[in-house]
C-alpha cells in the first residue's frame, strides 16, 4: 500500500536567531522565530509524512506548549516522525519539497540539506527533492517577513 501526504509551514524572520533550513545552519542576518529551531522545511516534510500515515501533524506530536520541545533541533523531530510512521508499518519512499524565500538564496545549500536529511532518515539523498523559489517580492515572503515551505511525501507499507 502506498500513501501520499502534503505539508506546509511558515515562520517569521526575526533578528537574533539562527537560520536553520533542511537541518543545516545558513548564514543570514535573520533567523526564523519558533518554539523549536523553526526549520520550516523539516516541519513541512514532517507534516507531509505524518499526513500520509494519517497520524495528524507535528503540532500534535511535538506541541509548541511543551518545555520538552522548546528549542528542539528539527532533525530530532524528523527522526521521531520516521519512527512514528514505522509503528504503523510505513517507510518513506520519497519527498518533494519547495522552499519559498526571497533571501537568502537557498539553491547553493540544497545538496547539503538533502544529505543531512537523508542521513537522519536513513535513505538515499536522491529520495529527497528540494526546490527553492522566491515570490517575486510579493506577499510576506517577498517583503522578507518570513519563509514558508511546501512538501509532499510518499510512504509505503
Question: Any idea where the domains of the chain sit in the sequence?
Answer: 2-156
Q: Does 140 appear as a known binding residue?
A: yes
Averaged over 84-103, what is the pLDDT? 98
List, in sequence order, every residue forming a beta bridge with 99; answer none if it has no partner.
132, 149
What does the pLDDT average to over 14-42?
Answer: 97
Q: What is the mean pLDDT of the segment spanning 22-47?
A: 97
Average pLDDT of every residue of the chain = 97
Is 35 annotated to bind a ligand? Reply is yes
Please tell me whether 141 is known to bind a ligand: no
CA–CA separation, 53 and 50 (whole Å): 5
* 57 labeled part of a ligand binding site: yes
Q: Is 123 annotated as a binding residue?
A: no
What is the value of pTM for the model shown? 0.97
Question: 133 labelled as ligand-binding?
Answer: yes
pLDDT average, residue stretch 31-57: 97
Name the CATH code of domain 2-156 (choices 3.40.630.30, 3.30.1330.50, 3.40.1080.10, 3.30.70.360): 3.30.1330.50
Q: Is 152 one of the annotated binding-site residues?
A: no
- Mapped to the 3 state alphabet, what secondary structure does 7-39 carry? EEEEEEEECCCCEEECCEEECCCCEECCCCCCC
Amino acid at each position: 500500500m502506498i500513501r501520499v501526504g502534503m505539508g506546509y509551514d511558515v515562520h517569521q524572520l526575526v533578528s537574533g536567531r539562527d537560520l536553520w533550513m533542511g537541518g543545516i545552519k545558513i548564514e543570514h542576518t535573520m533567523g526564523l522565530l519558533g518554539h523549536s529551531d523553526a526549520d520550516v522545511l523539516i516541519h513541512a516534510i514532517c507534516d507531509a509524512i505524518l499526513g500520509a500515515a494519517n497520524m495528524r501533524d507535528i503540532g500534535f506530536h511535538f506541541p509548541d506548549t511543551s518545555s520538552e520541545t522548546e528549542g528542539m533541533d528539527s532533525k530530532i523531530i524528523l527522526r521521531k516522525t520516521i519512527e512514528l510512521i514505522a509503528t504503523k508499518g510505513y517507510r518513506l519512499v520519497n519527498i518533494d519539497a519547495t522552499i519559498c524565500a526571497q533571501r537568502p538564496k537557498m539553491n547553493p545549500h540544497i545538496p547539503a540539506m538533502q544529505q543531512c536529511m537523508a542521513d537522519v532518515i536513513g535513505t538515499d539523498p536522491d529520495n529527497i527533492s528540494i526546490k527553492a523559489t522566491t515570490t517575486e517580492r510579493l506577499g510576506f515572503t517577498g517583503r522578507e517577513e518570513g519563509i514558508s515551505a511546501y512538501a509532499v511525501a510518499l510512504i509505503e507499507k
